[in-house]
Amino acid sequence: MGLFDFFKKKETAPEAQEALDKGLEKTKDGFFSKITKAVAGKSTVDDEVLDNLEEVLVTSDVGVSTTLKIIKRIEERVSKDKYLNTSELNFILRDEIQLLLSENNSNDFRQFEYGDHKPYVIMVVGVNGVGKTTTIGKLAHKLKESGLKVVLGAADTFRAAAVDQIKLWGQRVDVRVVAQPMGSDPASVAFDTLQSAVANGEDVVIIDTAGRLHNKIGLMNELGKIKQVMQKVVPGAPHEILLVLDASTGQNAFEQCKQFTEATDVNALAITKLDGTAKGGVVIGISDQFKIPVKYIGVGEKIGDLQLFDKKEFVSSLFK
């Protein structure tokens, strides 16, 4: 069984689906009202409809590059069937988005096996304000709920608030937190966290890091140093570098993804705050452009509202 199969086990499908549907309401409402306007008065999918659809996708924060791919695919389908009508457009669009996401990440996260790493080390990166600490707390809750022993490392030592937030989440979900005074060396915190995790036989280590992008070289050096010291304790660590992005920032999330993927080896994404925005299209665009698996999505404020990303469920919910 994969380390995160507990998500499937602990969370009943109807509850998860209901939370996903609710979390995507704003995106759905905006998306479909725009599509309705795009095809108003048209009986067939012609150039004007495709131009309008292109505008809908771009303004839904799917991104220009991904939008052009989707439009090209729909054009190819239209050219095969000259009598395609606008009522079929939603079905075609859903199919093409589904296919696009499937091509980017071949496996859904539900079937992803982590292997036998113990402790399994997750380093969390992302700018301040994207929901990084909240994501860490919710993920720790999910892991603990499954019976795994979790420890958090408060390595964002540049903001007192960040350390305090991690400590609060530690109390809230009843997991241990390793912290040092503000201004301490982040790599030292990471080292201590891993050492104590090994000594205590803990299963998962989640390390928070500072969310600063004003100096990419500085960020690169800092994250590189944290990785190096962790590898002295747990060879191969971190096993996962999780970038947290806020869906509500729209196109800015693309820029943050670009900056962080250039600074470190991001191999997983968490996209938060989908419930508070109509910009859920960023999930499609970022998945397509960066070819990094979206593993988690935040669809609400409750402690259980961090979900595993399932491409099929996401697209089905979007087009309900």
Binding residues for GTP: 126-133, 208-212, 272-275
Look up residue 264 and give its two tokens: 């470190």
CB 4 within 8 A of CB 306: no
Tell me which residue of 186, 172, 171, 142 sits closest to 296, measured CA to CA.
142
Give residues with Cβ within 8 angstroms of 260, minimum separation 6: 125, 126, 213, 219, 243, 266
d(CA 38, CA 52): 5
Residues 62, 70 contacting (CB under 8 angstroms)? yes
Per the listing, tokens 């890091």 go with 209
Q: What angle, rounded to 10 degrees, do the helices at 282-290 and 64-80 form?
A: 90
CB atoms inside a 10 Å sphere around CB 84: 18
